[in-house]
Chain A
Amino acid sequence: MTLGSIRHQIRISRSADDVWARVRDAAGLHTWFPGLTDCQVDGKNRVIFLGSGMAMPEEILVSDDVQRRFQYRITAPIFRHHRGTIDVIELGDDECLVVYSTEADPRTMALTIAGGTAGALDELKRQMEEHH
């Protein structure tokens, strides 16, 4: 088995709608994901630029305003499979849970990417709560 599946989550003291507005902005990921320097979106295609200088092509699969779910996959050949999923779950009027899941084959990439997603959740919380 070479599939790695890792989940990180964080509670944010901000409404699910406010947080979802940031998450659904596909072109703004680099503003809250440490280690990304830029994002370029063209329809369903997105390219993220990593701090190491690598460019990573992605396909946006789901951007569901009702479920508040954003889903994408990295299409770079080093991945046999990738699925990134961000769910924003309402916990109350002014609180939500954000779950960032990473599946990848090779599984080692799941660990490597998920280290970044955990840092991204921390940064998202910081920004959303600081600007409230």
Chain B
Amino acid sequence: MGRKILFVTTDQQRYDAIGCNGGMVARTPVIDALAAQGYRYERAQPQSVVCMPSRSTMLTGQHVSTHGVWMNGVALPVDAPSVAEVLHDAGYRTALIGKPHFEPFLDPFLRFTENRLSREPLSDGLTHRGFEHFEAATHGGQGMLHYARWLLANHPEAVGMFYPVLDGSLEVNALGGGETGAPQVWENAIPKEWYHTDWVADRTINWLDGLDADDDWFCWMSFPDPHHPWDPPKSELGRIDWRDVPLPEGYPQTAAEREAILDRKPRHWRAWYDGSLVSNYEAPADWVPATMTADHVREVNQRNAIECELIDEALGRVLAAIEARGWGDDVDIVFTTDHGEFQGDFGLLFKGPYHVDALMRLPLVWRPAPSSTPAPAAVTRPVGLVDLAPTFCAIAGLPVPEWMEGKPLPSSDTDADARGFERSLTEWDSVLFGVDVHLRTITRDGWVCTTYQAGHSHDGTEGELYSLADDPLQRVNLWDDPAYSSIRADLVADLWDHQPAMHQPLRRVEAPV
């Protein structure tokens, strides 16, 4: 009997959303306790700041260019490499419960397996991407995934209680709600017990209950929250008064300050803020960030924090179930997310082609099985989501397959230095209705450096360079400062030395998301 693995992901959660990373709004005692017993990573970064590419990296252990899911709407082939398959082949029982998003959600032709599995369950002995059990959910009560079908079958009156994610034109909705009219904030009358966070935990517990005591297992429990829309159950809103939520440090409080900061960055930053350019499908096309008020930020962050608390409590229930099975000492728990969220930083919400900490610095906690007697540590060296799949192999005592590009996560800075954790790479490519944006970013030696390739708004000479120590909010772009030209040149050269080539032929965009 080996070590079992509970892989817990959220969607679009910032580094500072949890207490152990200094978060002051949401109470997350369960995750904080795991961090205290294991490894807490202070510079964990995604290889993409949107869902499908980032989740594909988690599953494959490959950089975005290698697996080829270069933007949302590009499908990961069903026969792509998968760490779940490696573990299943080694005898692990495997499940994915919650949000997968390796294939597009907008799928009226039902071309994608992920969207068919609620109607055509896996036959005994078959797996999908290495998962023998697959129960999917996303952000609302409608659609083709298991949660939506469960809700429709059991609580049809609740299906329409969620925020309408898409508007009448099938664009990401800009509709505001709550007390401030903040975009994508909504009062959801659904009882907490029917909400997708509790459903994911319930289904996970149910799957674990069906396993034999001596089974080895890998369970990816994937919460759709705290990704927008911010529509947690109305019954929970009393946890936090939005008026008491402090404005984030990254939120410049005057328009003049916001505009001055944005004007020092490549032009698509300000263009989005002003509403003159929407480069990607991840933010509402009809929402203009410049219209966002401080109260909008407070209310968004209140709802977001409530969703984080619900996740923490749901995780606590799952851990209690694991303890009840007598597995507590033998389970590794890895907690992270796919990418971050602006939540008011720079006067922005949501996400897009913006490689700064709001979107790139992620919560990552690894609590190794207590039976392995880990020495708790905070790891400051850069690690990536590309390192997760190799970590799962290492936990299972399996060799890391050659096709994985990451390394098992380090247990300390000393370990990180010994094994060459020097840099993290993040990439962005998007093409949407004639607007293309291309970024490549390296994080190394306390610097974040982004190069821009030629596209709709850029001529290929632009870039961003920030010192994480001197400018933790990444407000002063040093790219064009001659005093930093040698650092910039060194980082750019190192980036291109390590950046994998893009998968060819380029995979096709199948849908907006």
Contacts and interface: CB of A to CB of B under 8 A. Distances in A.
Interface of A: 2, 4, 34-36, 50-52, 54, 78, 106-109, 111-112, 115-116, 118-119
A52 B108 contact: yes
A52 B433 contact: no
A interface secondary structure, majority = mixed
A108 B144 CA distance: 19
Nearest to A107: B433
Contact of A115 (B104, B144, B168, B433): B104
B433 to A, nearest CB: 6
A107 B508 CA distance: 18
Interface-centre pick from B111, B168, B171, B281 (highest chain A CB count, 10 A): B111
Contacts of B169: 2, 106-108
Nearest to B169: A106
A68 to B, nearest CB: 25
Given A4-B433, A106-B169, A108-B170, A115 B508 contact: yes
A36 B111 CA distance: 9
Contact of B109 (A4, A107, A111, A116): A116
Interface in B458-513: 508-512
Contacts, number: 63
Given A2-B169, A36-B109, A52-B109, 16 more contacts: A4-B433, A34-B111, A35-B110, A50-B110, A51-B111, A52-B107, A52-B110, A52-B144, A106-B168, A107-B433, A108-B169, A108-B170, A111-B73, A112-B106, A115-B509, A116-B111
Count class of interface residues, chain B: 20 to 34
A43 B239 CA distance: 62
A118 B168 CA distance: 25
B108 A111 contact: no
B175 to A, nearest CB: 16
Contact of B511 (A54, A78, A111): A111
A115 B112 CA distance: 11
A64 to B, nearest CB: 27
Interface of B: 73, 104, 106-111, 116, 144, 166, 168-171, 281, 433, 508-512
Contacts of B171: 106, 108
Contacts of B509: 111, 115
B109 A34 contact: yes
A119 B508 CA distance: 10
A119 B104 CA distance: 14
Nearest to A3: B433
A118 B109 contact: no
Contacts of A118: 508, 510
Nearest 7 pairs of A and B residues by beta carbon: A35-B109, A51-B110, A115-B510, A106-B169, A108-B170, A35-B111, A52-B110
A115 B511 contact: yes
A121 to B, nearest CB: 10
A10 to B, nearest CB: 12
Contacts of B107: 52, 112
A109 B170 contact: yes
Contacts of B433: 4, 107
A116 to B, nearest CB: 5
15 contacts: A34-B109, A35-B111, A51-B109, A78-B170, A106-B170, A107-B169, A108-B166, A108-B169, A108-B281, A111-B73, A112-B106, A115-B111, A115-B508, A115-B509, A115-B511
Contacts of A4: 433
A4 to B, nearest CB: 6
Nearest to A54: B108
B110 to A, nearest CB: 3
Nearest to A106: B169
A112 B111 contact: no
B110 A111 contact: no
